[in-house]
Every structure is written in C-alpha cells, then in structure tokens.
C-alpha cells in the first residue's frame, strides 16, 4: 500500500509521489492521518545538497494529525485523538530522555549515523519516514505524542513540532532571564520564534539581525525587536551602537550556511550560496556582541560533513571560531537539537490560554502537491511575496 509523500530526488529537486504507507511496527506505535506538516529551514540544507542525504528520503519532521491506528501497547492515546509529534523521536527511558534531553535519545538511532538523537525524515537521524506525507508512524507514542484539544489553533499547534520550542530552546541555552538584552542572529522561522520567546520571557531589549526585509518587519511587529539589517553595515557595530554596549545574551538561529555580511556582491535573492558564506561568522559575531560572561544559545545547525562547503576545513565541520576571545570573555555556549518535549506542553498551554499566538510566522498554507514549488520559493525566502513558514496540507 502506498500514500503520497515529498521525496528528495537530488539537489534542489523534490517530488510528490507514492511512498510506503506507514504501519504499526511496534506495540507502542501509533499512525496518524497528517492534517498539517511544515517545511523547515533544516530541510533546505538537504534540499540544496549541503548534507550527505541520498535521494529517496521522505522529508518532513514537523507533523500533526489525527490518530488513525494504535499499537497494542499504547495506553494513553485512542483513534481520533489530535496530536503533534515533536521532530525528535525519543524512547523516554534512556539516561538522556530521563533528564529531559530528548534530542539526544540513546536508543532511537543505533545505526551510528549521529552519536545520539533521532528525527523523522532527516539524514543521519534514523530510519523514521518523514511526515510530509498523508500519514506518519509515531514510535514510542505514549511518550512522544503531545495531545491537543479537538479543535482550533491548527497553525500555531503545528509550530509546536519544531520551530516554537526550538526558538524557546535557543533562549534557554542562552539562559535568558527577565530584563536581559539579547541579540538573535537570523530572522528565519527559528530566529523569529527565539525573539518571540524572548519577548514572552520578559527580555529587556531584543535585537534581530538579518537582511530579508519582510522577516525583519515581522520581528519588529510581533516581537518588539529592534531590527538590524546587516546589508546596512557591520551588525555587531550596529548592535553595540544602538544598545550602548554589548548585550547580555545571544542566539544563533542561522547555522553553518551563514552569509558573510562583508560579502559585497550579495545579490538580491536570499537563497544560500556557498561562495558567499562564512560558516563561523555568526558565532564569532555573537562572541563580539555579547558581554563578558554572557551566554550564547546555538540552535542554528552545524554539521560534521558539508559536501558544498566553502573550504576544505568547513567540509569536515572545522570552523575558525574565535575561541581565545570566547575564553577571555568567560562566555559559555550551548548547542544542539532542541529537546522539544522539554517545552512543548507549557508552550501548548500558552497557546490554549491565548497568551501566545505564533501563527503570525506562517506565510503559506497549501496542498501537499504544491511542495516542489514551495521548496523552490521558500529556498529564495523572498521574491514577489515573503516566504517565512510554509505549511502543507495532505
């Protein structure tokens, strides 16, 4: 039996075609009928051929839907329940899961591709078919599925699979406290959710750095952030001038495909381009912009293998980080996949209570069939219209 799913065919090429229909494989699995699944900036790294992903992967790690089948060992879920699945697949009983570090589950990815942690539809993250499809199998479902009210908030709830908790995670890694000033590099969906989380947590001042005008506008409008456009001058100098000194905390929501602000010929499309990238630039900018002993949260993705890297060292994940300066400033940093389960229940309740509504980040909701065009246009980030967050409806 088959269902339709979004399949990676090679560099900048996806198609919607029949893929294996997910089935119950273990007693604690459920299968859901997907109602919403999102395209992520993380998918773009694979889409652009900038990871070791082989063609054939079914993409998608941000998925919500209605339970259509339950395994014999499932006790907390029933057919008809509405759930959102964290992008992490986690067992719930290993040492890391017990500590709430579900992004680093030690049981779900034993093929050795990554040291710990699993996810749906992602290179190296285990055998879990992606959710940009009509159905998804959710393993260890009692642990992984977050239950939702039967109706309402479809857009906001879909963001609980990844970007809202991941933005929140960025501010947790940076140990953001009420009153702190914070610089968030990147105004993509993750950066915008980090800035929104900072606002909810009572940050004193928020700076958001990018060059895509529509994204900076969203940061100003919905996160009370001061937008900094790095096309208009050195971003660190702009932050320090506006703030009157270094900020308390910093978040990297860009990752290794960072555009070098000093690149003079950036062009006016906003897609990634290795010739114009500097994979260490955002971390080094944070080291400069954050005050001594300040903390850096780094949810932006870094990889040990980048086939399209701008140089040989970066191709092996070795970056020129200003570690001496970091040491001198006594700064600390936190990295890694977001532990979605550590936050998604509380954030869900903020949405239910009307205290948070992240749906403003959604720019498009379209049929699954339109995925190829959406990938192409989201990759450009802005053309005739802003592509901030694309939701697919199977």
Binding site for Zn ion (CB under 5 A): 40, 42, 162
Does 361 contact ligand NAD by CB under 6 A?
A: no
Any contact of residue 281 with ligand NAD (CB under 6 A)?
Answer: yes
Nearest 5 degrees, angle CA 390-CA 391-CA 394? Answer: 140
Least separation, in Å, of the C-beta of 135 and ligand NAD?
A: 23
Residue 104 in contact with ligand NAD, rule: CB under 6 A = no
The site partner of 106 among ligand NAD, Zn ion, none (C-beta below 5 to 8 Å per kind) is none
**Which pairs from 349-355 meet CB under 8 Å and 24+ separation?**
350/200, 351/153, 351/156, 351/157, 351/160, 352/149, 352/153, 355/200
* SS3 label, residue 293: strand
Closest CA to 223 of 238, 210, 234: 210
Applying CB under 6 A, does 38 fall inside the site for ligand NAD? no
Under rule CB under 6 A, residue 187 binds ligand NAD: yes
Among 46, 190, 219, 290, binds ligand NAD (CB under 6 A): 190
Select the residue interacting with ligand NAD from 6, 64, 282, 368 (CB under 6 A).
282
User: How near is the Cβ of 381 to ligand NAD at its closest, in Å?
Assistant: 6
Do 35 and 154 contact (CB within 8 A), yes or no?
A: yes
Q: Are the C-beta atoms of 44 and 81 separated by less than 8 Å?
A: no
Is position 143 an interface residue for ligand NAD (rule: CB under 6 A)?
no
CB 306 within 8 A of CB 317: yes
By the rule CB under 6 A, 117 interacts with ligand NAD: no
Residue 191 contact, options ligand NAD, Zn ion, none, Cβ 5-8 Å cut-off depending on partner type: ligand NAD
Contact residue for ligand NAD among 29, 134, 180, 210 (CB under 6 A): 210
| Alpha-carbon span 206 to 219, nearest angstrom | 9
Question: Contacting ligand NAD (CB under 6 A), which of 59, 140, 143, 270?
Answer: 270
Closer of 74 and 183 to ligand NAD (Cβ):
183
Q: Tell me the closest approach of the beta carbon of residue 118 to ligand NAD, in angstroms.
A: 12
Q: What is the end-to-end Cα distance of the chain in Å, rounded? A: 17
Please enumerate in sequence order all residues whose Cβ is within 8 A of that of 334, keeping only pairs 6 or more positions apart, or say none.
172, 173, 174, 295, 296, 297, 298
- Measured from the Cβ of residue 212, the count of other Cβ atoms closer than 10 Å reads 20
DSSP 8-state code for residue 276:
G
Question: Binding string to ligand NAD for residues 335 to 354, with x set by CB under 6 A, is what?
Answer: --xx----------------
- Whichever of 69 and 322 has its CB closer to ligand NAD, that residue is 322
List residues binding ligand NAD (CB under 6 A). Answer: 40-42, 44-45, 162, 166, 185-191, 209-212, 215, 230, 253-255, 258-259, 261, 270, 281-282, 299-301, 337-338, 381
């Amino acid at each position: 039996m088959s269902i339709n799913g979004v399949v990676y065919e090679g560099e900048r090429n996806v198609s919607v075609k029949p893929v294996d229909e997910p089935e119950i494989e273990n007693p604690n699995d459920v299968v859901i009928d997907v109602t919403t699944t999102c395209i992520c900036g993380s998918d773009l790294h694979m889409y652009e051929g900038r990871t070791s992903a082989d063609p054939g992967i079914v993409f998608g790690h941000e998925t919500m839907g209605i339970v259509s089948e339950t395994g014999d060992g499932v006790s907390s879920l029933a057919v008809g329940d509405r759930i959102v699945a964290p992008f992490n697949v986690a067992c719930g009983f290993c040492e890391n899961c017990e500590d709430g570090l579900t992004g680093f589950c030690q049981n779900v990815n034993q093929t050795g591709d990554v040291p710990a942690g699993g996810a749906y539809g992602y290179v190296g993250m285990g055998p879990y078919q992606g959710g940009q499809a009509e159905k998804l199998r959710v393993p260890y479902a009692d642990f992984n599925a977050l239950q939702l009210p039967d109706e309402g908030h479809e857009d906001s709830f879909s963001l609980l699979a990844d970007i809202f908790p991941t933005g929140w995670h960025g501010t947790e890694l940076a140990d953001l406290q009420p009153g702190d000033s914070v610089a968030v590099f990147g105004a993509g969906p993750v950066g915008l959710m980090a800035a929104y989380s900072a606002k909810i947590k009572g940050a004193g001042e928020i700076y958001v750095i990018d060059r895509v005008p529509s994204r900076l506008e969203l940061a100003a409008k919905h996160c009370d952030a001061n937008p900094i456009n790095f096309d208009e001058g050195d971003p660190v100098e702009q932050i320090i001038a506006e703030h009157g000194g270094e900020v308390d905390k910093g978040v990297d929501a860009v990752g290794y495909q960072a555009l070098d602000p000093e690149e003079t010929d950036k062009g006016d499309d906003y897609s990634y381009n290795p010739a114009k990238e500097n994979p260490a630039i955002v971390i080094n900018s944070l080291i400069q912009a954050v005050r001594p002993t300040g903390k850096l949260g780094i949810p932006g993705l870094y990889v040990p293998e980048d086939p399209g890297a701008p140089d040989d060292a970066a191709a092996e994940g070795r970056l020129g980080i200003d570690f001496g300066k970091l040491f001198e400033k006594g700064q600390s940093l936190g990295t890694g996949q977001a532990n979605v389960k550590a936050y998604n229940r509380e954030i869900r309740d903020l949405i239910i209570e009307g205290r948070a509504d992240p749906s403003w980040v959604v720019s498009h909701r379209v049929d699954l069939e339109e995925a190829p065009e959406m990938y192409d246009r989201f990759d450009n980030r802005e053309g005739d219209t802003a592509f901030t967050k694309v939701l697919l409806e199977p």
